[in-house]
Homo-oligomer: A and B are copies of this chain.
Amino acid sequence: MQERTLIADLSSHTGENVSISGIVSVRRDQGKLVFFDFHDRSGTVQGVVLPAKDPAGEALMETAKDTRQEYSVRVEGMVNARPEKNIQADKQNGDIELEIKSISILSRAEEMPFDKDADDLTLEARFDYRPFTLRSQRDRDIFRVQATIVTAFRNALIERGFMDFQAPVLVGGDAEGGSAVFEIPDYYGKRAYLATSGQLYKQIMVGPFERVMTIAKTFRAEKSATTRHLSEITQLEFEMAFVETHEPVMDMLEEITRFISTEVADKHGDILTRLGTTPALLPEKAYPRFRLSEAQEIIEREFGGKAVGEPDLEPEHERQICEYAKREFGSDFVFITHFPNKKRAFYTYADPENPDSTLSFDLLFRGLEINSGSKRIHNYQDLVEKMHARGMDPEKFSFYLQAFKYGMPPHGGCSTGLERITMRMLELGNVKEASTFPRDMNRIDNLLSESAPED
């Protein structure tokens, strides 16, 4: 049997017999001629079965007419250059065509339930038929970009001396407080929870490793049915020691998100075009940085309404300040800093110039908060005091607190929602579209009303 050639490599075999393995994207039966589009992981190519001239040709034509969309096949044939008038210059392999000599059907498919590439599919249909709709051009595009984002994040940080580790999913308590948490009431007869954040473990790891990152699953049991929430989230997190303020963390995050954006633009120009978006706009100078109070003043001045004095930005305000940053600074990214103490987690470092404020930041991207970060409290006594002030019991955090008791360098870090950065990078309307298998209030693969076993 001839060795397999990847579809992307076909044009270098023009005039040769080859064997490809792939899946039928489309069959166009024109009676005496049958055309196919095949795809494999490397790309797509058109193939044709020519009119039968002999019994072998008739058998091939019969197989061709039996071969349908989503069938897996091995195809042998001759790579022909297309005549000038048939060349499709903007298409992969648009200058060649595979003249099919034989088709082996490796796997069949039933009739498709609907056109997976239709423009107007509902989200419900996409998710109900996820194993099928993931094959749509749209979904293959989204998750190719997501894989590039993850790899770019890891590589950029490794290059800067960060070490990755596996943050745990099972935790002994609700670490941060505030977020609704999923419970496992019977963990060998005791109670456990699903992590709402890798934060405390990331800080622990700073002690031995100074710069750490983790790609961590986190879980939120919030009763939230917005376009921005999932109950299972992938977080891209890093934490770094020897920072005096939150600013070196922002500098690092800016470098990383610039690298991610550039990688996506360089590798996936075709995908951005197909999805109707453009590369993230990166300013020549630094991303604009506004204190929360400053941003609120800008919002009131430029867009009207009430923002000054609020403890956080409303979703509408996030969109407005991003619009302003884009218009005035040519940036799709904007930092908001110095959130009030009461709105940030207990481990956030207070602003030495104003104890009601913190050395914290959010990074907004095209209208949405995708990252939160801060300098952290590193002094053991300060941390214990802060816990008391919040009504938390330091006893319950004795494991975490060890890291501080036995010496912790000053540090800071941040966490980016993978689904959120993917969503905004591709300007998708709903964060669930950026999760391969989205989990929310109503769905784990199937709608929960159908799938969850009852007692």
Binding site for B on A (CB under 8 A): 4, 21, 23, 40-42, 69-72, 74, 106-110, 112-113, 129-132, 134-135, 139-140, 143-144, 146-147, 150-151, 154, 158, 161, 163-173, 182-188, 190-192, 194, 201, 204-205, 207-211, 215, 217, 219, 221, 223, 231-232, 234, 241-242, 378-380, 396, 398-400, 402-403, 405-410, 418, 435-437, 439, 441-442, 444-446, 448-449, 451-454
Residues of B within 8 A of A108 (CB): 379, 407
What would 8 A/B residue contacts be, using CB atoms closer than 8 Å?
A72-B408, A112-B406, A131-B402, A135-B208, A168-B444, A191-B453, A192-B444, A396-B453
Most buried by B among A108, A192, A232: A192
A158–B154 alpha-carbon span in the complex (Å): 13
Interface SS of A by simple majority = mixed
**A132-B164 CB under 8 A given contacts A172-B445, A453-B191:** no
Query: Nearest chain-B residue to A209 (Cβ)?
Result: B41
Whether B444 lies near A170 (C-beta < 8 A) is yes
Rounded to whole Å, the gap between the CB of A349 and the closest CB of chain B is 13
Interchain CB contact (< 8 A) of A446 among B41, B131, B399 = B399
A452-B147 CB under 8 A given contacts A21-B242, A168-B439, A444-B170? no
B134, A205: Cβ atoms closer than 8 Å: yes
| Contact present for B439 and A204 (CB under 8 Å) | no
CB-CB under 8 A from A173, the residues of chain B are 451, 453
Whether B42 and A410, one on each chain, are in contact in the complex, defined by CB atoms closer than 8 angstroms, is: no
The 5 A-B pairs with the shortest beta carbon distances in the complex, nearest first, are A109-B407, A70-B407, A190-B452, A41-B210, A72-B409
Across the interface, name the chain B residue whose C-beta is closest to A444. B172
**Are A444 and B187 neighbours in the complex by a CB distance under 8 Å?**
yes
Task: Please give, as numbers and ranges, the residues of chain B lying within 8 Å of A399 by CB-CB distance.
Answer: 130-131, 445-446, 451
B208 lies within 8 A of A134 (CB): yes
Check if B169 sits within 8 Å of A217, measured CB to CB: yes
Chain B residue, CB-CB nearest to A110: B405
Q: Across the interface, which residues of B come within 8 angstroms of A439, CB to CB?
A: 168, 170
Nearest-CB residue, chain B, relative to A134: B208
Contact in complex: B134, A172 (CB < 8 Å): no
Are A380 and B110 in contact (CB-based, < 8 A)? yes
Q: Looking at A72, A223, A396, which has the most chain B CB atoms within 10 Å of its CB? A: A72
Most central of A113, A403, A451 by chain B CB within 10 Å: A451
Q: A131-B399, A169-B217, A188-B223 are in contact. Are A40 and B210 (CB under 8 A)?
A: yes
Assuming A135-B406, A192-B452, what are 4 further A-B pairs, CB within 8 angstroms? A72-B241, A170-B439, A171-B444, A396-B453
Find out whether the CB atom of B163 lies under 8 angstroms from the CB atom of A403: no
Asked if A204 meets B131 with Cβ closer than 8 Å, knowing A109-B406, A190-B452, A380-B110, the reply is: yes
List the B side residues contacting A409 at CB < 8 Å.
21, 23, 72, 106-107
Task: Using A110-B380, A188-B441 as known contacts, say yes or no to A170 and B452 having CB atoms under 8 A apart.
Answer: no
Chain B residues with CB below 8 A from A223, complex form = 188
Q: How far, in Å, is A453 (CB) from chain B's closest CB?
A: 6
Nearest CB of chain B from residue A381's CB, rounded to whole Å = 10
Chain B residue with minimal CB distance to A439? Answer: B170
Determine if A143 and B163 form an interchain contact, defined as CB atoms under 8 angstroms apart.
yes
**Docked-complex contact B183 and A437, CB < 8 angstroms:** no
Best-buried of A72, A164, A406 by chain B (most CB within 10 Å): A406
Task: Give chain B residues whose Cβ lies under 8 Å from the Cβ of A166.
Answer: 217, 234, 418, 435-436
CB-based contact B184/A182 at 8 Å: yes
Select one of B107, B186, B418 contacting A378, CB under 8 A. B107
Closest to A69 in B: B407
Given A154-B151, A210-B41, verify A446-B172 contact (CB < 8 Å). yes
